[in-house]
Amino acid sequence: ETGVTQSPTHLIKTRGQQVTLRCSSQSGHNTVSWYQQALGQGPQFIFQYYREEENGRGNFPPRFSGLQFPNYSSELNVNALELDDSALYLCASSRGTENYGYTFGSGTRLTVV
């Protein structure tokens, strides 16, 4: 059973640029969520995808968008990057309505300069 994999692991972007982060969910998991974790803070929910549809969104602006593919992998896109977008972006997968914990990927460390 493979876990959650994210790519890239690290990324440096310039303010105003766009970025795409990728996530492959754990085998058997059909729900993918994205979280932003600033240094020293807890993860903050960005949005969740279930069966390729957005299934909830946190307090993030529309320039944060996402996709889920038929194989349950997912992308997080951020447009018009701002310095405050610098953070660890975590992808987490779960088995949807079943009461199991989330499996997190190792994250993508995004630095905006």
Binding site for other proteins (CB under 8 A): 31, 33, 35, 41-45, 48, 50, 55-56, 58, 88, 90, 92, 94-107
Q: Which is nearer to other proteins, 73 or 108 (CB)?
A: 108
- Residue 66 contacts residue 51 (beta carbons within 8 Å): no
Q: Which is nearer to other proteins, 3 or 13 (CB)?
A: 3
DSSP per residue over 6-69, as a string?
A: EE-SEEEE-TT--EEEEEEPPTT--EEEEEEE-TTS--EEEEEEETTEEEEE-S--TTEEEEE-
- Shortest Å distance, C-beta 56 to other proteins: 5
Q: Which is nearer to other proteins, 83 or 100 (CB)?
A: 100
